[in-house]
Structure 1
């Protein structure tokens, strides 16, 4: 990356209505670029948050630790910050877990306890392993169910190949590749049909087995990549639930298919800590001319806890913190108030951001823009106008000030359609706020890091994150200085092809304020 302390970045006048000095703009943008690339704090922030604190499951002690850490970081930079309580959640703390096959021979299995899973007794749970069959009727399932008593039940579809599709496509013959795809599709259809016939889902099955007396549950939620599984929650209250790697799960399955009943020991040392308060961390750099108008830097601080939540959403968190640090240093007196919102419990339904919207309804009409990031480590690649009629006007004005090397590959879609979910910007879009998701390059996010056991520090591409810091800092600066208030006028939504009726703007929803009890 170039040394921006020696380069004047903006050489031509911006074709817009801004009235403040172009020289001041150039100086400020140059300072943002210099600070971003020559004095970045991203790696330190990532280490402290991801390696030092770790995963940030809603309600957990680690989540509280991360909120307190963020407040302290902001205050060290001279930025006022606080934790705003909005509810409470079941508090669960992960401990060590050991999974061993003890028959037909001894072997450590790769796996981990799922979030909110009950702990085992101190000596663990040892039991025979059985596989959930495919059923042709509900009656067949009901007849089989009593057989799970005292057993560890495997509940995931068997995957005969642990090679991702791209690996097959690269090396297999066309005939072999098509054969694999057909067999995989047929097997998946059979499995899904069996679940449909018995009226259960992956969410409801665990409780059903627990009620039938199972000793524990073994799943393998393969994420279609080498060595990677999705890690979510257990859905039980008394028996342990573990996720095992595709490779070890497959071995257990094949043993059962060949007439050998494996025996597995599970020892899981999690702790149930009752209920705990849940928070958003909110930081503010007060505006000097229009302090009651706002730009919000949005990211969720919580994560699932298979890995350390590095790209979902540690990268978004450290990006917005770094943007705030830089702006406080090079633009300490913004015209509008800059708010950083690090939300809690996004993973359970955008709860933290919905709570902020509910608690700060007076702010909603006064928000100039919200910039949200929450999809990995890649450079920003797409921005939608989210259904705001005039978003083309003001977003393009702000983007035109950004060095072209940061924007040349960004695809913009105007006016776009309103986001109804997926990430925290949707909570604000529903309230009529010009809130924009900054979509990133993929970097195999869906398969390899999104909610997986491999979402760790080493997956961060810091060069891309720095690009995002510079982009967002400049957009924030431009939005703050813009003499015009951005318009929240909405488009007339098109007809929904499924219903034949006009689509409706998303509605504001209240958060779940007491969670984890079901």
Structure 2
């Protein structure tokens, strides 16, 4: 072979090698969707045979524990998540600082005991977040505050100091006739698959408040304002859901006149907010027992040891972000985001809400890295804070990098487009408990139906194949959808989420099902990878009027 032909052959081999390494070996388009089964099988092998998800879930819930926004535990969780991302080899790992949110709150000690002339029992109860505490245990009599007319305020004025105040009659006892845990059935999945605009709109809509409702809200406001003035030892109510020792809870509240928009109500975490009266929720069984003892004319004394720590050194919230960089020269600046909220309430350890979603996302990124993916677009992971206080962390991310809504954030009249708006492809969210993914909500974006249905085909044997036109709300994908960007939440098996664990002291590691979480991570990795490999960004449904930055 002469030197000229040898040079030509060497040049050809070198060029082919460069093309092979510089360009992805597999792509697809929205009009002709396919599945890279070799890659999906790699994801399944890595995610099922060598999963790290339960070890991460245990550390996050058992070691770090509950993660109230801006609490020391929340910051520790942010730092741990960043360490995990870096250990997987993710790049551009950082804490996206947003806010100011306000003060953090940490429960350092709590116990409650009930005593009468005939009996004693320890009380199952939890203080509401951002309740103030005491330097030592306090004791006082329990009273039931019944306000039906104006003169009742005059009767109770000056009589509540040093008292524990019950503010409502207990719920009627109920037995567990229905199973606490359940999976989706063929019938329930069929209803989701057949969802229409009429059904979806009916799920979201509601009647205007009537006069009776407005009167109840006014009475509740006047009572709350009265209690703020009288300053009893604590306000007592019962768990807002559940029996058998379950205590479902959120944060302490401050009085707000009826009609005050949700986003404008005062919050005790705000640095300039007034100090609320300590607020404690009791298990329904114990709340009911104390109430009935009062009805029998018995005096009930409570001793409460409530100690808390407020964190005011850092008023800013953090979202933890990491990336797998894109490799396509024309598309690498575009990006796909997978995410879940890392924050939780404080009674349990935030396992199903939402350590489950957080470790699914971390494991999905680990799977992608171990599979050696070379995505055309960048794949980002975002673990949010402030979700429980109103999707604040994810909203701040959107308004920092993607778009700023004008007018009502929940239904903006227009948006100002930022630099990332035209580089964004899609956001995928997990935050409906720890149940297995059974499909995905289209969020009324029918243009991706065929695409998503195709990507679910490998998981038919897992019972994961439902695509629902319907909207679903109340979690972080909503803030993307509101500004006209594709944001999606997966359909998940309910398990015990809304019957037992959600926002309750039962939300612990024991509520997690390993197989479900492993499969979820594989499915999320598959959606992230295939979205990143498309020729186009995901199509967008009609949204608010756009204006350039």
TM bracket (short chain): 0.7 to 0.9
In structure 2, distance between residues paired with 1:208 and 1:29? 61
204 and 425 in structure 1: CA distance in 2 versus 1, 3 angstrom threshold:
farther
TM-score by length of structure 2 reads 0.76
In structure 1, distance between residues paired with 2:505 and 2:226? 26
What does the per-residue CA deviation read over 1:458-512, in whole Å, with 9 as the maximum and x for residues that have no partner?
Answer: 001111111111111111121122223321133xxxxxxxxxxxxxx5799xxxx
CA RMSD of aligned residues (A): 2.7
- The answer to whether the aligner puts 1:413 opposite 2:413 as a matched pair is no
CA-CA distance at 1:327 after TM superposition: 0.2
Aligned to 1:366: 423
In structure 2, distance between residues paired with 1:125 and 1:194? 36
What does the per-residue CA deviation read over 1:436-457, in whole Å, with 9 as the maximum and x for residues that have no partner?
Answer: 1112111131121111111100
Aligned to 1:348: 389
Contact 1:222 1:228 in 2 (8 A): no
In structure 2, distance between residues paired with 1:145 and 1:386? 51
- The answer to whether the aligner puts 1:86 opposite 2:98 as a matched pair is yes
Gap runs ≥5 in structure 1: 1-13, 169-191, 491-504, 509-518
Contact 1:113 1:242 in 2 (8 A): yes
- The answer to whether the aligner puts 1:106 opposite 2:120 as a matched pair is yes
Contact 2:243 2:284 in 1 (8 A): no
CA-CA distance at 1:216 after TM superposition: 1.5
Contact 2:339 2:383 in 1 (8 A): yes
- The answer to whether the aligner puts 1:286 opposite 2:325 as a matched pair is yes
* Residue correspondence of structure 1 range 23-422 to structure 2 within 5 A: 25-80=36-91, 81-88=93-100, 89-104=102-117, 105-122=119-136, 124-133=137-146, 135-141=147-153, 143-161=155-173, 163-164=175-176, 166=178, 196-197=215-216, 199-201=218-220, 205-206=223-224, 208-235=226-253, 237=275, 239-274=277-312, 276=314, 277-289=316-328, 290-361=331-402, 362-400=419-457, 402-406=458-462, 408-414=463-469, 416-417=470-471, 421-422=473-474
In structure 1, distance between residues paired with 2:248 and 2:544? 29
437 and 218 in structure 1: CA distance in 2 versus 1, 3 angstrom threshold:
same
CA-CA distance at 1:42 after TM superposition: 0.7
Contact 2:116 2:298 in 1 (8 A): no
Aligned to 1:443: 495
Contact 2:29 2:535 in 1 (8 A): no
Aligned to 2:198: none
In structure 2, distance between residues paired with 1:352 and 1:393? 32
Aligned residues: 447
Contact 1:315 1:460 in 2 (8 A): yes
TM-score by length of structure 1 reads 0.80
CA-CA distance at 1:197 after TM superposition: 4.7
Structure whose CA Rg is larger: 2
What does the per-residue CA deviation read over 1:279-338, in whole Å, with 9 as the maximum and x for residues that have no partner?
Answer: 100111100002111111010010111111100111000000000011011033211100
150 and 455 in structure 1: CA distance in 2 versus 1, 3 angstrom threshold:
same
424 and 19 in structure 1: CA distance in 2 versus 1, 3 angstrom threshold:
closer
CA-CA distance at 1:246 after TM superposition: 1.4
Q: 3-state SS of the aligned residue for 2:131?
A: coil
477 and 126 in structure 1: CA distance in 2 versus 1, 3 angstrom threshold:
same
In structure 2, distance between residues paired with 1:258 and 1:425? 51
* Residue correspondence of structure 1 range 438-517 to structure 2 within 5 A: 438-490=490-542
454 and 207 in structure 1: CA distance in 2 versus 1, 3 angstrom threshold:
farther
In structure 1, distance between residues paired with 2:533 and 2:296? 71
In structure 2, distance between residues paired with 1:27 and 1:238? 58
Q: 3-state SS of the aligned residue for 2:165?
A: strand
In structure 1, distance between residues paired with 2:178 and 2:446? 40
Contact 1:357 1:364 in 2 (8 A): no
CA-CA distance at 1:394 after TM superposition: 2.7
